[in-house]
Amino acid sequence: MSESKMNEAASRSLGSANSYAVYTDNFDPSQLNPMPRSAAREDWGITGKEFEGFDVWHCHEATFLLENGLPLAGTLKIVCPASSEFMVESKSFKLYLNTFDMCKMGKTIEEAIANYEQQVVADISACIGAPVEVKFFKSGEDRTLRGDPAGAAYIDLYKAISEERLAELEITDYNASDFYSIVNDAPNVGETANYFTNVLRSRCRHTKQKDTGAAYFTIKTKRGRVNTEELLKMVISLREVNEFHEFCAEKLYTEIMKNPLIEECCVMLLYARRGSLDICPARATRADMISSVLRSPKLYTRKSMGQ
């Protein structure tokens, strides 16, 4: 098969070769596409004042050059506040970061990394209208701090519910249309419960491609105990929802907090990498409820179950 025929065949599923390729030796912030958070929040009746939180991005293919042409490669972690007016559309984020691939950022490794981090901070902050934090973890860095983004105290919902009961569950809502009673009322009994599941799945609002990952919850009740079956069903209900990751987290948080028996809550969605990026939105009643390993730009976040 000739190259032209091969390219024609590939384009049927991959699209135009120009839709992802970047050929430049200068970083280009014009690639970034800012999108107003309010546009999607209005669809769900969310204002953004209901929670605190962050969008944590990991670019696992971050790379750039020294002045002598030597490339550096590693993972770039970017922490954006959920309170910013705008967020970055993910494909434009990838294209922007790709413009650094052949860009010379400094004479020494230390200088190049510092220049790279400072430039990304400046460009992303300008794009979303709020300050961001970044950290570049170079390949082979022996001081990299690793940790489970959600800690070791989270219980798998598939273990919290017996196998017999899991087999009996009737799951029919895949479009987040039902109401879920997350707490079973119990007088004089309250709890703080930590659960996770790796069956998180939703679809991109624009392309309709599937997005998968792991969902982590911390729920503190005023009274009563968390209904694990209802919590699992709520996560599953996102399965055919066409929405960006950030707003899937916000919908889960606001729906959980509608229950008057719940005092506070934290939702962390650790979505799997697509292309060179993964995004991990976290929303909570208080920012300090969010895992420090996830929210701190200084800590390298190890992949979690489902990522």
Active-site positions?
A: 204, 211
- The residue type found at 8 is E
- Listed in order, strand segments (DSSP E) in 170-255 are 183-184, 192-203, 210-221, 225-226
- The residue type found at 253 is Y
Count each helix (H run) and each strand (E run) in the chain, helices first: 9, 12
| CB-based contact 243:217 (threshold 8 Å) | no
| CB-based contact 56:77 (threshold 8 Å) | yes
| CB-based contact 192:218 (threshold 8 Å) | yes
Tell the burial category of 30 from Cβ atoms under 10 Å away from its Cβ (0-12, 13-18, 19+): exposed
- H/E element holding 147? none
